[in-house]
Amino acid sequence: MMQATKAGALYALIVFLVGFALGAGRVVLLAPALGGTAAVILEIPVMLAASWLACRWTVDRLGIRRNVPTRFLMGGVAVVVLMTAEFGLGWVLGRSPAERIANYESRSAAIGLTAQIACALFPVVQVWRR
């Protein structure tokens, strides 16, 4: 149980860092030219592929058991840590939690949230794929 919690936190940290780098590029390079939603749609496949690989690496590196409850815990911890990091970054940038939640009404933020939920499910899906 503790290993799954550690794995979820590590997985979330990797996904957050990759997302931060890709997001910076999206905001600076793609969004001004294409618009926010189109930029997110182009970013999501890269982010999901990176998350899939990060999940697999984390599971292998920490030797996480191949069963659904353990992997579900890992994914749950990952999404909680990821959302906490996002809200924390928003706070550092001067956005309140209420503003962050209200932002989910935008199409691009809703697409991003859907991708985060998919990332949380990757540990379980990978049990079935191997």
Percent of the chain exceeding pLDDT 70 equals 98
Mean pLDDT of 115-130: 89
> pLDDT tens digits for 53-64?
999 999 999 999
The predicted structure's pLDDT at residue 101: 77
Candidate from 38-47, 66-75, 105-114 with smallest mean pLDDT: 105-114
Q: What are phi and psi of 67, to 5 degrees?
A: -140, 155
Two structure tokens written together for 9: 């936190």
Two structure tokens written together for 34: 């294409």
The predicted structure's pLDDT at residue 98: 80
Of residues 129 and 95, more confidently modeled: 95
- Considering the chain, what is the average pLDDT of its residues? 90
Number of domains the chain is built from:
1
66 Rama class: left (phi>0) / alpha (psi -120 to 50) / beta? beta
The predicted structure's pLDDT at residue 130: 58
Mean pLDDT of 6-34: 92
- Separation of alpha carbons 42 and 37, rounded Å: 9
pTM of the model: 0.87
> pLDDT tens digits for 72-111?
999 999 999 998 998 888 888 888 878 777 777 788 888 8
Residue 109 is classified by DSSP as: H
Alpha helices in 26-129 (DSSP H): 31-34, 36-62, 68-92, 97-103, 107-129
Mean pLDDT of 5-30: 92
Angstrom distances, CA of residue 74 to CA of 5, 43, 82, 122: 6, 24, 12, 10
Range of the domain at 76: 2-129
Mean pLDDT of 34-57: 93
